[in-house]
Amino acid sequence: MRAPLVLIVAAACGGESEVPIDAPDFSSFKTLITSDWSLQPGTELYQCATATVTRDMYITELRPNIPIGTHHTVVSIGAKVSPDSAGYECGNPFEFGGRFIYGTGVGSTPFQYPDGVALKLTAGQQVHINLHLFNTGDEVLSGTSGVDVRETDGTTVQNLARMELAGPETLTVPTGVSTQTGICNALSEISVVSFQPHMHQLGTHMTYSVTPVVGEPYVLYDQDYTFDGQEHVMFDPIRVFHKGDQLKIECTYNNTTGHSVGFGESSNDEMCFAGMTIYPANTTFCQ
């Protein structure tokens, strides 16, 4: 990565300071939801928070706040089911029962929808955030995790999008090198904006391939995996799945623990998920 350009300016005390002139501008972002937390050394915690949407929102960009100790963030939206809460201990990231709208892992960066595509939140809905917090160090960790958003005028939006987690919900990773596989078939035409891999500490590689009803099989995603680099990969042009296309995810692991590892939320368990941004938002993905 190239070093940022800097501008030397006079400080108030008469000295000089360096101000990046190509630093990202986050001044137009607004906080969607956050939660403060503190975690003792060698422990992990699942913490949730809720916030009610006060007006219709068309979101074009999401910026994660994921200080050290934040393993993953799962954000969903649904009907208001209880008073808003700034933070409480929880478990299942989908206990809220709403629709998954955004997720991050270690190393995630801001996510921007393509022109004309947005995520819509409706006034009166409730946002739910599930934080998996994991302190592997020797000192107490504390921070504020959450999501900021940038909005647009709804008149500029042609397609409403959502996120989908695709992959097997049960798996057993034996010792040594192995691959877990999940297969489903697209139920309708789906435009795919982005792809984000999600495994835990034993994951080494992920492949996502498509066998279309018409045409030759192709590979959508095929990359080595690192726990600290779970970034969104944007597709340009946007990819399209057609009804009946077979979708296959393959996750490879190197299990050096000396025992088998099963599916679970903990970083000491494993997962095999692709987080994909798709539209239309009301589309059923696959089965």
* CATH number of domain containing 152: 2.60.120.310
Q: Which is more confidently placed, 71 or 86? A: 86
pTM of the model as a whole: 0.79
Residue at 200 is within a domain: yes
Query: What six digits make up the tokens of 253?
Result: 């692991």
Predicted pLDDT at 138: 94
Number of structural domains (the chain) is 2
Q: What is the pLDDT averaged over residues 197-211?
A: 94
Q: Is residue 3 part of a domain?
A: no
Residue 25 pLDDT: 52
Pick the last residue of a domain from 114, 140, 160: 160
pLDDT band at 252 (very low <50, low <70, confident <90, very high): very high
Within a domain: residue 174?
yes
pLDDT of residue 266: 77
Domain extent for 186: 164-279
Q: Based on the fold, state whether residues 133 and 42 are members of the same structural domain.
A: yes
Rounded distance, CA 223 to CA 208, Å? 9
Same domain, residue pair 43 and 135? yes
pLDDT in tens, 268-278: 899 999 989 99
pLDDT score recorded for residue 26: 53
Which tops the pLDDT comparison, 14 or 197? 197
